[in-house]
């Protein structure tokens, strides 16, 4: 049982549903199950606020949110999260061609190394998924 006084079960459940739809049930359940006392608060917080609030807001559809995440993660040079969110973007209807365009856009605004890393990560994900 969560011990965080700010834990909100309704937000957590809403976030958990979206998180599983975007990132995949197996990945999410493994992340939650492997969370120790140190990581538990992070898992709860991210599920409630990132997935429960932000991803459920009506202002943007999931495909648009995925485009934004890809751009942000490329700019921040976060390949592990980028790998995860490329798979999520595919689940949200973003095409391989559109992901290529995001990586090319990053070439101009984030630099060649960031774009190259993004292309490499995307290529790995496509290979894993048989795309």
Q: Are residues 40 and 87 in the same domain?
A: no
Q: Are residues 71 and 118 in the same domain?
A: yes
pLDDT in tens, 20-71: 999 999 999 999 999 999 999 999 999 999 999 999 999 999 999 999 999 9
Mean pLDDT of 94-113: 96
- Whether 92 is covered by a domain: the verdict is yes
Mean pLDDT of 86-113: 97
Q: What pLDDT does residue 18 have?
A: 97
Q: Are residues 79 and 121 in the same domain?
A: yes
**Token pair recorded at residue 97:** 């061609």
Note down the domain range covering 129. Answer: 60-131
Counting the structural domains of the chain, the total is: 2
Angle between helices 79-91 and 9-23 (to 10 degrees): 80
- Whether 1 is covered by a domain: the verdict is no
- Judge if pTM exceeds 0.85: yes
Tell me: pLDDT of 4 over 80: no
- Whether 18 is covered by a domain: the verdict is yes
Tell me: pLDDT of 121 over 70: yes
Residues 6+ positions from 96 with CB-CB distance below 8 Å: 90, 122, 126, 131
Q: Are residues 82 and 113 in the same domain?
A: yes
Torsion 30-35-41-42 (CA) sign: negative
CATH number for the domain spanning 68: value is 1.20.1290.10
Residue 8, class by beta-carbon neighbours within 10 Å (0-12 exposed, 13-18 middle, 19+ buried)? middle
Mean pLDDT of 85-93: 97
**Number of helical H runs and strand E runs in the chain:** 7, 0
Q: What pLDDT does residue 3 have?
A: 66
Residue 27, class by beta-carbon neighbours within 10 Å (0-12 exposed, 13-18 middle, 19+ buried)? middle
Question: Which bin fits 61, alpha (ψ -120 to 50), beta or left (φ > 0)?
Answer: beta
Q: Which of 32, 57, 82 delimits the end of a domain? A: 57
Q: What are phi and psi of 23, to 5 degrees?
A: -95, -15
**Token pair recorded at residue 15:** 């976030």
């Amino acid at each position: 049982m969560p011990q965080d006084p700010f834990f909100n079960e309704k937000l957590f459940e809403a976030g958990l549903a979206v998180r599983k739809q975007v990132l995949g049930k197996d990945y999410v359940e493994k992340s939650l199950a492997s969370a120790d006392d140190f990581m538990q608060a992070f898992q709860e917080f991210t599920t409630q606020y990132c997935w429960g609030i932000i991803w459920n807001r009506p202002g943007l559809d999931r495909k648009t949110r995925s485009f934004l995440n890809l751009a942000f993660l490329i700019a921040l040079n976060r390949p592990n999260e980028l790998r995860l969110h490329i798979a999520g973007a595919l689940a949200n209807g973003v095409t391989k061609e559109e992901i290529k365009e995001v990586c090319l856009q990053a070439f101009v605004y984030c630099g060649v190394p960031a774009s190259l890393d993004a292309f490499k990560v995307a290529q790995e994900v496509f290979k894993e998924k048989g795309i």
